Amino acid sequence: MFVEIARLLIVFLFTTAGFELAKGGATAPAEGSAVLGATLGACIGYVAGGIVGRLLNRTMGAVERRVERAPAAQLLAGALGAGVLSVPFALLGVPAVVLLPGVLGWPLLGLLVWIGMFAGFRLGAAKSEQLLGMAGLSTRPLATVSRYGSGRAPETLLVDTSAVIDGRALAVAEAGFLHGDLLVPRFVLDELQGIADAADPARRRRGRRGLEVLDALQRDGHIGIHVIDDEVPEIQAIDAKLVALARRLQAGLLTTDANLQRVAELQGVACLNLNRLADGLRPVLVPGEVVRLPISREGREPGQGVGFLEDGTMVVVGEAAGLVGREVDVRITSNVQTSVGRMLFAAVVAA
């Protein structure tokens, strides 16, 4: 469309030029010479218009690609710099137009204005961060701040994909331990959909369970669920996006990822880790208490047996390797906190 319109305009231009040249080129123009000039001008304009239109189209495409790669802050600051610096350079060229004979001053004026615009754009783009910062504007594309609730971290939580797939968030919400609103960023929902569409059956089941959990939370009504379109386009990694968005929205994070929690808390973002919550809610067994549990397998050390409590806590029982498959009474002797949770040590209670 651009090439055709450019060609049409150039045809009109050459037709008019041919008509005027043929009409005024001779003292007594022959009859029909103006029409002939217009026709020749139209033909030349049709050919030239196609060539010029395509060249302009390719040039504009190249400019568009360069502009697309350039940060918006640099373009804005560069345009402002070009406009500001071209004015004093134009004033410098005015005496040349006045003093030089004929039209010799106009090219010099145009050259000075072009130098001013070019220099202003380069300087403005190079110092875009400082210039826009002085004006109180951010040089980075910020997320839209959509505030929900009071905005305090314990009440407003961004949901991580791991927390949705985990499924325990629904039970925590139904128990009344989640207040305020849960915010699901669009990029988290897209990641969850990608997992649900994965070729691996286990991964696909996890993704679909996450979507079902979100649907159940929305229908449950105990808390508000909001899918937000806020973006952090300058960051690619999902975890980094979540932390940056949580800081900008002044919200917390709901996750099961311990590494994400550490990174977020180092940046001042409060986190609710469902794994840490589950560990904190497990019954506390002190040394000396007696519990009954099945010995499920042998331990690492000779003679050890391993059993598990109902909450999943691992219990290492001494001298229980021969009791695998049996349910016995054991006395807790000590407990150790590890990176994966709490582990208990016990001894078999003599019958």
pLDDT digits (tens, 9 = 90+) for 14-71: 788 777 777 765 555 555 677 777 788 788 878 887 787 788 778 777 767 776 777 7
Q: Which two tokens stand for residue 79?
A: 């345009």
3-state secondary structure 256-318: CCHHHHHHHHHCCCCEEEHHHHHHHHCCCCCCCCEEEEEEEEECCCCCCEEEECCCCCEEEEE
Residue ranges covered by each domain of the chain: 2-134, 156-280, 285-348
Residue-by-residue pLDDT tens, the chain, 351 positions: 667 777 777 778 778 877 777 776 555 555 567 777 778 878 887 888 778 778 877 877 776 777 677 777 777 878 888 888 888 888 888 887 777 766 667 777 787 888 888 888 888 878 776 766 666 555 544 444 444 444 444 478 888 988 888 888 888 888 777 777 888 888 888 888 889 888 888 888 888 988 888 888 888 777 788 888 887 877 888 888 889 888 888 888 998 888 998 998 888 888 888 888 777 767 777 788 898 989 999 888 888 999 988 777 889 999 888 888 899 999 999 888 776 667 889 999 876
Amino acid code (one letter) for 170: L
Model confidence, pTM: 0.46
- Provide the 10 A C-beta neighbour count for residue 298: 16
Q: Is 319 left (phi over 0), alpha (psi -120 to 50) or beta?
A: left
| Fold observed for domain 156-280 | Rossmann fold (3.40.50)
Please report the pLDDT score of residue 317 as a whole number.
92
| Fold observed for domain 285-348 | OB fold (Dihydrolipoamide Acetyltransferase, E2P) (2.40.50)
Beta strands in the chain, from DSSP E residues, in sequence order = 156-159, 181-185, 224-228, 252-255, 271-273, 290-298, 305-308, 314-318, 327-338, 341-348
> Among 265, 279, 278, which Cα is nearest to 337's?
279
Location of structure tokens 């927390």: 163
For 25-54, letters b (16+ CB in 10 Å) and e give eeeeeeeebbeebbebbbebbeeebbebbe
pLDDT digits (tens, 9 = 90+) for 245-285: 888 888 889 988 889 989 988 888 888 888 887 777 677 77
